[in-house]
Amino acid sequence: MQPSRSTYLRTLLLLVSTVLLVACGGGGGGGGGSSSTVGAPPPVVEPPVPPPEPPAITEQQASRFLSQATFGPSPVAIEELVSLGLEQWLLAEFEKPASLHLERVLSQFPEDGTFVGSNGMPLPELVFLPSDSFWKTAIEGDDQLRQRMAFALSQILVVSGDSNAGRAPQALAHYADILTEGAFGNYRELLQRVTYSPAMAVFLTYLRNEKADPAVGRVPDENYARELLQLFTIGLVALNADGTPVTNPDGSEVELYDNRDITELAKVFTGLSFDAPRFQTPLQLVPLTAFHSPLVMYEPFHSQRAKRFLTVEIPENTPGGQSITLALDGIFAHSNVGPFVGRQLIQRFVTSAPSPDYVSRVAAAFDEGEYALPSGTLVGSGERGDLKAVIAAILLDREARAETSVDNPQFGKLREPVLRFTHWARAFEINSAEAGNELSLRNTNRAEALGQQAYRSPSVFNFYRPGYIAPGTETGAAGLTAPELQITNASTVVGYPNFLTSFAFGVSPKVDPGIAPTYVANYTTQAALADDPQALLDNLDTLLTHGTLQEDTRARITSLLDRLAAETDEDLLLRARLASVLVMTSPEYIVLR
């Protein structure tokens, strides 16, 4: 009888497995053995243990995190974060494409690309385009973490449109794109792109900076060299890894450099000009693309002398581009960069007076170029200066996430005025963030407005100094830095609620009243709750103050709401609008903890 096909296959597999066992040394016996014994069974391989499930977060915790990490929580964003969890949300943000500004700004230029009138000034309709683009991207951009990081970087690597840089709107938009594209990149590469940026070169006056000429008394412009060291990278004094100053035996702080270092470094930034036919090509003949393209080096105008500053030595006759690379490499290698930049980024996202331990952990992420998420997943490239690692370290640090920090009077920060307004727009899901017709958004630097506008700081020192300690305040008495208090005064304290109210009640002034309105808030959810002030405040507390609204604040707001009728839909909408303004002007909202 012939064996069945299944029996035949089992026999064949047995023979094959026996041959493989012998070939792998699994058989027993010596050279002439007549039989082999089956070896011990292979060891059991335990399946990998999956990382622990991240703890679930509440809507209020999600709202707090998004207040730190984005331009403000919206109902949809809160729901998404609760669903994903902090880690998955963060990883997803790193993968989102960048929302950029330049193409949007250029699309509104005249067809021939010109941007100045016969008087040599920028065309009036173009001046506000970078600002309009910022509002739209900040409010509606899907890449919220990237946009917040770019805004934070813009307050360290400052370029302001309230200068000659504002005469070329496309240069300012190009600069904003540099920060946006570099937000999750490497800080060293960001310094390179910033250095070759037309906007920065105009703002800090090293565009067409020429080498020294003793015959006519010319010396290189020192602006960029000074601010590159003092504001963009290492500061003025030596720092420990935790950001505290290194001191001499007598207690004085250790200064890092003097004006000779600045003079030497200034030689490096000579020879840069627009990508044009000549170093001194008249502005009206410079190709229009050059205003939003990297600068180029013109060697005849670059100083060929040796340059010596800090511990960096650049030999004489080193080409200009190589001199810049060596200078930036040397500065970036300084141990101050991590704590100096890291501390300022903590201030922009989480707390104005970070503890030395917090700074130390963020500086370590900067230096190591990676950060381990709670699950063990590594973020970052492993190269020093990786900004993904830095922002992950800032937002997921135990001090940032601790529930006890919410009640710590020395923790937290004043919400920046810009972030208050973008939060309102996102929280109440405005119909459109197209800002071109919003007269109030053209210049929110005014004290009667917000007292702050992106890319329009009053100087290279930003809107406020990172080391600012407010005199005559409790934070000042405690020795706490509170940068945002530098623009908090009698005018801005009144200006902000007035500014917010005009938008919340839909009466913000327009450039052209005949155009369909934008920035129209959706208060449908809140109006449906408005006949019950406590239910309304519960909703606003989660959306705006992440559960921190105090009972006495609730009582004051409730008392005001009770004075309003609640009979018609218009009555309920009025209550909802008023309640949103009252919560967003409360101490619990203004101070983010």
Q: Rounded mean pLDDT of 321-334? A: 98
Across the range 90-114, mean pLDDT stands at: 97
Average pLDDT over residues 306-310: 98
pLDDT digits (tens, 9 = 90+) for 344-361: 999 999 999 999 999 999
Q: Do 316 and 444 reside in the same domain of the chain?
A: no
Secondary structure letter of residue 308 according to DSSP: E
Q: Which of 339, 355, 390 is the last residue of a domain?
A: 339
Q: Tell me: pLDDT of 464 over 70.
A: yes
Q: What is the mean pLDDT of residues 106-135?
A: 93
Q: Which residues of 188-224 are buried (b: 16+ CB within 10 A; e: fewer)?
A: bbbbbbbbbbbbbbbbbebbbbbbbeeeeeeebbbbb
DSSP string computed for 187-215: HHHHHHHHHT-HHHHHHTT-TT----BTT
Residues above pLDDT 70, as percent of the chain: 91
Residue 519 inside a domain? The answer is yes
User: What mean pLDDT is predicted for residues 403-418?
Assistant: 96
Q: Which of the four pLDDT bands, split at 50, 70 and 90, describes residue 121?
A: confident
Query: Does the pLDDT at position 312 exceed 50?
Result: yes
In a domain? residue 213: yes
Q: Which long-range contacts (CB under 8 A, 24 or more apart) does 438-445 make?
A: 438/135, 438/508, 438/510, 438/511, 438/518, 438/519, 439/508, 439/509, 439/510, 439/511, 440/499, 440/502, 440/503, 440/508, 440/509, 441/131, 441/132, 441/135, 442/128, 442/131, 444/417, 444/418, 444/499, 445/162
- If asked whether residues 462 and 313 sit together in one domain, one would say no
Q: Average pLDDT in the 562-577 region? A: 97
Q: Do residues 550 and 459 share a domain?
A: yes
- pLDDT given at position 51: 58
- Over its C-alpha atoms, the chain yields an Rg (Å, rounded) of 30
The pLDDT of residue 497 is above 70: yes
Query: Which pLDDT belongs to residue 120?
Result: 84
Q: What is the pLDDT of residue 426?
A: 98
Buried b (16+ CB within 10 A) or exposed e, 463-480: bbebebbbeeeebeeeeb
Residue 536 has pLDDT above 80, yes or no: yes
569 vs 26 pLDDT, higher one: 569
For residues 398-407, give the mean pLDDT: 95
Same domain, 425 and 534: yes
Residues 428 and 287 reside in one and the same domain: no
The helix, strand and coil proportions of the chain, stated in percent and rounded to the nearest 5, come to 50, 5, 45
**Of 17, 54, 65, 48, nearest to 547 (Cα)?**
65
Q: Decide if pLDDT at 17 tops 50.
A: no
Residue 173 sits in the same domain as residue 255: yes
Nearest alpha-carbon partner for 455 in 116, 223, 138: 138
Domain boundary among 313, 339, 365: 339
Structure tokens at 541: 């507390």
Q: Token match 């013109």: residue?
A: 298
> How confident is the model over 1-29, as a mean pLDDT?
35
Are 282 and 292 in contact by the 8 Å Cβ rule? The answer is: no
- For residues 207-212, give the mean pLDDT: 98
Cβ neighbors of 467 (< 8 A, separation 6 or more) are 481
Distance CA 210, CA 272 (A): 8
- Is pLDDT at 43 greater than 90 in this prediction? no
Q: Which of 59-63, 125-129, 327-331, 395-399 has the lowest mean pLDDT?
A: 125-129
The more confident residue out of 12 and 46 is: 46
Amino acid at 16: V
* Range 40-63 average pLDDT: 74
Q: What's the rounded Cα separation, in Å, for the pair 510 and 515?
A: 9
Specify if 15 maps to a domain. Answer: no
The answer to whether position 345 is within a domain reads no
H, E, C per residue of 34-81: CCCCCCCCCCCCCCCCCCCCCCCCCHHHHHHHHHHHCCCCCHHHHHHH
For residues 66-87, give the mean pLDDT: 98
pLDDT tens-digit map of 504-533: 999 999 999 999 999 999 999 999 999 999
pLDDT, averaged across the chain: 92
Residue 171 and residue 73 in one domain: yes
| pLDDT mean over 558-574 | 97
> Does the pLDDT of residue 41 top 80, yes or no?
no
Higher pLDDT pick, 49 / 522: 522
Whether the per-residue pLDDT at 453 is higher than 50: the answer is yes
Please enumerate in sequence order all residues whose Cβ is within 8 A of that of 43, keeping only pairs 6 or more positions apart, or say none.
none
Q: 577, 505 in Cβ contact below 8 A? A: yes
| Exposure string for 381-397, b = 16+ CB within 10 A, e = fewer | eeebbbbbbbbbbbbbb
Exposed e or buried b for every residue in 398-418, given b needs 16+ CB within 10 A? ebbbeeebbeeeebbbbbbbb
Q: Is the pLDDT of residue 136 over 60?
A: yes
The mean pLDDT of 250-256, rounded to a whole number, is: 97
The tally of domains found in the chain comes to: 2
Q: Model confidence at 46, in pLDDT bands (50, 70, 90)?
A: low
Residue indicated by tokens 């801005």? 492
User: pLDDT grade, residue 47 (50/70/90)?
Assistant: low
Q: What is the pLDDT of residue 445?
A: 94
Binned at pLDDT 50, 70 and 90, residue 45 comes out as: low
- The answer on 425 and 284 residing in a single domain is no
579 within a domain of the structure (yes/no)? yes
Gap between the Cα atoms of 90 and 146, Å rounded: 10
Boundary of a domain, candidates 321, 339, 357 = 339
> Residue 41, class by beta-carbon neighbours within 10 Å (0-12 exposed, 13-18 middle, 19+ buried)?
exposed
Q: Is the pLDDT of residue 3 over 60?
A: no
Is residue 201 within 8 Å of 295, Cβ to Cβ?
Answer: yes
Shared-domain flag, residues 427 and 299: no
Same domain, 205 and 113: yes
Is 370 a member of any domain? no
Summarised one tens digit per residue, pLDDT across range 265-302 is 999 999 999 999 999 999 999 999 999 999 999 999 99
Residue 35 has pLDDT above 80, yes or no: no
DSSP SS3 for 331: helix
356 lies in some domain: no
Closest CA to 489 of 512, 503, 502, 472: 472
pTM summary value: 0.91
pLDDT band at residue 50 using 50, 70 and 90 as cut-offs: low
Q: What is the pLDDT of residue 4?
A: 40
Tell me the two tokens of residue 377: 């997943």
Q: Assess whether pLDDT exceeds 50 at residue 489.
A: yes
Domain housing 582: 412-592
Give the integer Cα–Cα distance in Å for 443 and 466: 23
C-alpha–C-alpha distance, residues 392 and 415, integer Å: 20
Pull the structure tokens for residue 70. Answer: 């984005």
How far apart are alpha carbons 234 and 184 in whole angstroms? 20
pLDDT at 579 over 70: yes
Q: How sure is the predictor about 408, in pLDDT bands with cuts at 50, 70 and 90?
A: very high
Residues 41-65: what's their mean pLDDT? 77
Provide the 3-class DSSP secondary structure of residue 296: strand
Q: For residue 244, what is the DSSP state?
A: P
Q: With respect to residue 376, please indicate whether it lies within any of the assigned structural domains.
A: no
State the average pLDDT over residues 14-27.
34
What is the Cα–Cα distance from 201 to 159, expressed in whole angstroms?
9
Same domain assignment for residues 102 and 241: yes
User: Identity (one letter) of the amino acid at 256?
Assistant: L
Give the integer Cα–Cα distance in Å for 112 and 325.
36
- In this predicted structure, what is the pLDDT of residue 123? 93
Q: Which residues pair with 414 in a beta bridge?
A: 591
2 vs 474, higher pLDDT: 474
Neighbours of 569 (CB within 10 A): 10
Domain co-membership, 317 together with 423: no
Residue 24 scores a pLDDT above 50 = no
The pLDDT tens digits for 363-399 are 999 999 999 999 999 999 999 999 999 999 999 999 9
